[in-house]
């Protein structure tokens, strides 16, 4: 029996896709260089060798055509998994997402489904500059009919990919490039990470920290530092940006009476604002302090490393905000 080894983020995504392709012959991958090259970062390596070119479809450089193909194939009963590379490039296919995929089930009275996944990478912390590092999940979370997931580690990366492929709605699957080399031991057997369900990854009693995507690592680091100072932070991994799991957050805030949200996207109009508004509307009597956000400033991310570090939220900034709130 082969020795069980940890998987990094890339291979976790790869295994999730390949397992679903074996389980369901209607699943196929599509995008620029997803076939023989295995994608720009090797996430789809080996898939064409096992499943052939009919289920590992290379395309021209046309993001609109890729997502348009997904809309048509999904309407016809297939389950495409597309790669758009960097999230910035997804701006070239907003028409297909917003005016077609997100609306099709409504426009046809539920008779037509849109079961497809689009993978897109964020590159904050990777030094990729403003054309490759944007976090635009909030754009798509605001579209009725769309689902948006942001795995935080290899275990949730594989589980959310499998859940996304099985979902009957279009799912934007956001991968953090800076986390690609993170390794973890994987659960045994066929598992999924449910869409729309957050996870409490660390229990605490003094403050609730809601993290989105790769910010989980920063939240866990901050929680460890705070514990040394006697502050017990409860850390929640949101996992799904749309639909939000507000119930898990509400239950936590009933216990801690404080909440701070950390995400890589800009603070203004970011997803943390919607969480904060929901807490204000529904949990006001439980709050002992205003809901806070640790997020990027309202400007474009820099290429220069020191400026990029200053721009991005991190554990140090989170610790400072929490201490301010519990003082």
Active site residues: 132
Token pair 């989170």 in the structure block, residue? 318
Structure tokens at 271: 């997803």
At a CB cut-off of 8 Å and minimum separation 6, what does 53 contact?
A: 35
Q: Which of 264, 259, 256 is nearest to 308 (CA)?
A: 264
Distance of CA 236 to the CA centre of its chain: 14
Burial of 85 (0-12, 13-18, 19+ CB in 10 A): buried
- How many residues belong to the chain? 327
Query: CA-CA distances (angstroms) from residue 298 to 66, 127, 147, 270, 301?
Result: 31, 19, 25, 10, 9
Backbone dihedral angles phi then psi of residue 268, each to the nearest 5 degrees? -70, 125
**Coil, helix or strand for 32?**
coil
At a CB cut-off of 8 Å and minimum separation 6, what does 148 contact?
A: 137, 140, 141, 171, 172, 174, 240, 241, 242
Q: How many CB atoms lie within 10 A of CB 142?
A: 14
Q: How many CB atoms lie within 10 A of CB 113?
A: 17
Structure tokens at 268: 């203004």
């Amino acid at each position: 029996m082969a020795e069980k080894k940890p998987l990094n983020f890339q291979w976790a995504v790869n295994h999730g896709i390949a397992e679903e392709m074996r389980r369901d012959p209607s699943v196929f991958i599509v995008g620029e260089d997803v076939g023989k090259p295995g994608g720009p970062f090797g996430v789809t390596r080996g898939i064409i060798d096992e499943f052939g070119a009919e289920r590992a479809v290379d395309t021209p450089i046309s993001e609109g055509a890729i997502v348009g193909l997904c809309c048509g194939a999904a309407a016809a009963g297939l389950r495409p998994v597309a790669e758009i590379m960097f999230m910035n490039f997804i701006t070239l296919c907003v028409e297909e997402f917003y005016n077609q995929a997100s609306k099709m089930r409504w426009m046809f009275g539920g008779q037509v489904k849109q079961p497809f996944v689009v993978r897109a990478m964020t590159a904050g912390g990777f030094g990729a500059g403003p054309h490759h590092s944007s976090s635009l999940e909030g754009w798509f979370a605001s579209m009725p009919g769309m689902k948006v997931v942001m795995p935080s580690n290899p275990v949730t990366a594989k589980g959310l990919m499998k859940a996304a492929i099985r979902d009957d709605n279009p799912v934007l699957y956001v991968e953090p490039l800076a986390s690609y080399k993170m390794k973890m031991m994987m659960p045994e057997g066929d598992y999924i990470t449910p869409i729309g369900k957050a996870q409490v990854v660390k229990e605490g009693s003094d403050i609730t920290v809601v993290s989105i995507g790769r910010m989980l690592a920063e939240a866990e680091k901050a929680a460890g530092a705070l514990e040394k100072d006697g502050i017990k932070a409860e850390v929640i991994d949101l996992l799904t940006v749309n639909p939000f799991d507000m119930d898990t957050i509400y239950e936590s805030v009933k216990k801690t009476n404080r909440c701070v949200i950390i995400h890589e996207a800009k603070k203004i109009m970011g997803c943390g604002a919607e969480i904060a508004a929901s807490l204000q509307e529904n949990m006001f009597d439980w709050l002992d302090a205003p809901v806070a956000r640790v997020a990027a400033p309202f400007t474009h991310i820099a290429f220069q490393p020191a400026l990029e570090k200053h721009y991005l939220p991190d554990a140090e900034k989170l610790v400072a905000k929490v201490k301010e709130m519990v003082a």
